[in-house]
Chain A
Amino acid sequence: MTLHKLLIGVAAAAGLGGVASAQDVAVITPYLAQPGTQFYVDGFKARADELGWTVNVIDTAGDVAAVISRMEDVVTQGVDAIVINVDPAQIGAGLSAASAAGIPVVGMDAGNDPLVAANVTSNGYAMAAETSVYVANRIGGKGRVVMFTFDPFPPVQIRGVIADAVFGNFPDIEVIDRITPDVSDGGIADSRAQMEAILAANPDPGSISAVWAAWDQPALGALQAIEAAGRQGEGIVITGIDANPQARDAIAAGGNFEASVAQDFQGIGSTTADTVARILKGEKPVQQVIYVPTKLITAANVNAE
């Protein structure tokens, strides 16, 4: 601990740091080691610096109970706002402590809860609409589509619902299989095995027009299966969602994997800071869920980022 920090701590604790503009915000997450979370936090800190806030980022290294403990501590310390990046359902005790002290809690891709003033995240419905419409347009509204979905996990389940609706709206699109891959090993290997079975069952060139996957791993598995079967020349269109590095590589390579959707993690962070600023000004968000736009990634823009 530097002397500087110590002095700030002493001054703030003594009530000297309470200048109106200098807001004191704690960001608490168990997941700072994950790449996405770091982008959120970087985006948040950059915006908070512009606003002149004191930001304390607390990482509990995977320990969710410690998130509750640290929330209680910063409530005692008397911060102006708390930002969380963890499922609110698991930290009810911390949310009650903040609520009792009148300290607003804002979620940064956290989840919804009556005690969370607002949650800033990406629109899963919109992401699925982007890729399913891409598929439908790309195959000219006509053909046989394989879907990879995962309904047990709510954020992914909503993506499948949208794709069902989009494909259902095209009379000439037939969904020949809706697969839930086994994700215990990450999802690529089982998706590949399932796709191999579908390829074997549909041996005629052109009998499969597209593979729509609710996230990138099944799309990558399907790509491997198609390439291993030597059927990459049939024009089967594959799309994923999330635009992870492996998916970006595949899209950049120009093969069957044509599109995915990128979340704007930095944007979620900076929008969270803006949302906190609004709430601290006394605004009450009408919408408890605030969406940050996502971006369709294709060969046209994959190298631009």
Chain B
Amino acid sequence: MITVMRRFGGLAGMLAIVLFFAISLPDTFMTLRNWLNISQQVSMLTVVAAAMTVVMVMGDFDLSVGSMASLAGIVAAVLFMQGWSIPLALLAALGVGLLGGLFNGIMVSLVGILPFVATLATLTVFSGLAYVISDGRTIFGRDIPAAFGDFARGGPNLPGGIALPNLTLVAALTVLVIWIVLEQTSYGRRLYAIGGNREAARLAGIPVMLLRLSAFCFTGVGAAIGGLMYASRVASANPTQGDGLMLTAIAAVFLGMTLTRDGQPRVLATLVGVFVLGVLDNGLTQMRVDSYVREVMVGAIILAAVGLSAIGRNGLAGQLRR
């Protein structure tokens, strides 16, 4: 029984949140339209958090994802202004994400700087570049092709006349790709091995340096995709618009980790974490909870979930003994 509690306590808590809103907002919460809304609202966070899971599997972090998201949006927008076609501009922005991720990987893995320090530094670098390229301006209006802004507002119609948002599809596809990489390939299993015990992994013949380096490319490209989705949703680009994604993405991964058996990051668990955050924003807004109180509550719920999970894992007595 206790084992069951430990294993599924977190999940039960999250279901309780959904149940609470379903009862409090009987007419509007548990509707297909609302859930599609939520899926669209969290789509950018989903992509960035899923990518973040890849490095957190190894016990690393990438603090630069938010400013990379901003930078990617700015790069695409500036290229639009110069008359580049949409696909080419998007490819270039994704290329910037790949290069940024590669650079992070080199700093962390080859040079050997702690991920926290290395990616904190590149956070500033990417953010500065976004300001340099854009002159600090918000790029919007005629400079952004209509088709780019329309993408985030459209989507294939489901039977019943409701559209399945394009952004939701992009997020689902990203999660699927990362799930395959992490769970179904030896590459992914080796990343977990590095996370479990880096030294043992190295002794077992796993090319730790190369794998860590390459894993940061996922966060770079993921951040760029998230930033482009953001730019499409607001049909504009601003040198700071993606910055908020970083902390929320890390929070989502941590929330997800409370659901897994041994507290490892798993991409599907991250997805649940993302949805918990999205559902809280959506439900509390509909219940007219003050936006500042909402932030306090979201933080408190993260603490409660992660704290309960830690106590559940070791037992309160175990915590006290430490």
Contacts and interface: CB of A to CB of B under 8 A. Distances in A.
Are the chains A and B members of one assembly? Answer: yes
Interface of A: 1, 5-6, 8-10, 12-15, 54, 56-66, 68-70, 72-74, 76-78, 87, 89-93, 96, 184
26 contacts: A1-B287, A5-B288, A5-B289, A6-B24, A6-B287, A9-B25, A9-B286, A13-B27, A58-B285, A62-B244, A64-B241, A66-B281, A68-B41, A69-B282, A72-B41, A73-B37, A73-B282, A73-B285, A74-B285, A76-B31, A77-B25, A78-B27, A87-B140, A89-B141, A89-B235, A90-B236
Contacts of A66: 281
Interface stretch (B107-115, B253-261, B290-298): B290-298
A12 B288 contact: yes
B39 to A, nearest CB: 11
A18 to B, nearest CB: 11
A59 B291 CA distance: 6
B235 A90 contact: yes
A65 B287 contact: no
What are the 7 closest A-B residue pairs judged by CB atoms, nearest first? A9-B287, A69-B41, A73-B285, A77-B286, A13-B25, A56-B288, A90-B234
Nearest to B141: A89
Contacts of B281: 66, 69-70, 73
B149 interface: yes
Given A69-B37, A69-B41, A72-B40, 15 more contacts: A1-B284, A9-B24, A9-B25, A9-B289, A14-B27, A57-B291, A60-B291, A64-B238, A72-B37, A73-B286, A78-B27, A87-B140, A89-B236, A90-B234, A91-B234
Contacts of A57: 290-291
Interface in B212-271: 230, 233-236, 238, 240-241, 244
Nearest to A71: B285
B244 A63 contact: yes
Interface residues on B, range: 35 or more
Contact of B288 (A8, A68, A69, A92): A8
B318 interface: no
Contacts of A56: 288, 290
Interface of B: 24-28, 31, 33-34, 37, 40-41, 44, 135-136, 138, 140-141, 149, 152-153, 230, 233-236, 238, 240-241, 244, 281-282, 284-293, 297
Contacts of B238: 64
What secondary structure prevails in chain A residues at the interface with B? helix
B293 A92 contact: no
B282 A62 contact: no
Given A15-B27, A69-B41, A72-B41, A77 B285 contact: yes
Contacts of B240: 62
Contact of A93 (B24, B233, B287): B233
A5 B41 CA distance: 25
Contacts of B24: 6, 9-10, 13
Contact of A64 (B25, B33, B234): B234
A90 B152 CA distance: 12
A178 B286 CA distance: 51
Contacts of B138: 90
Nearest to A15: B27
Contacts of B135: 184
A9 B24 CA distance: 7
B139 to A, nearest CB: 11
B225 to A, nearest CB: 14
Given A65-B44, A89-B236, A92-B153, A1 B289 contact: yes
Nearest to B230: A65
Contacts of A5: 287-289
Tell which of B136, B236, B240, B291 has the most Cβ of chain A within 10 Å. B291
Given A12-B288, A15-B27, A56-B288, A92 B44 contact: no
B44 to A, nearest CB: 7
B16 to A, nearest CB: 15
Contact of A70 (B44, B152, B285, B292): B285
A94 B284 CA distance: 18
B286 to A, nearest CB: 4
Contacts of A62: 240, 244
A72 B278 CA distance: 13
A60 B290 CA distance: 11
Contacts of B136: 184
Nearest to A58: B291
B241 A65 contact: yes
A90 B236 CA distance: 6
Nearest to B286: A77
A56 B152 CA distance: 27
Given A8-B288, A59-B292, A65-B230, A76 B37 contact: yes
Tell which of A15, A61, A65 has the most Cβ of chain B within 10 Å. A65
A13 B28 contact: yes
A91 B238 CA distance: 14
A63 B135 CA distance: 20
Contacts of A69: 37, 41, 281-282
A101 to B, nearest CB: 10
Given A89-B140, A184-B135, A9 B288 contact: yes
Nearest to B34: A76
A76 B285 CA distance: 10
Contacts of B152: 93
A15 B238 CA distance: 40
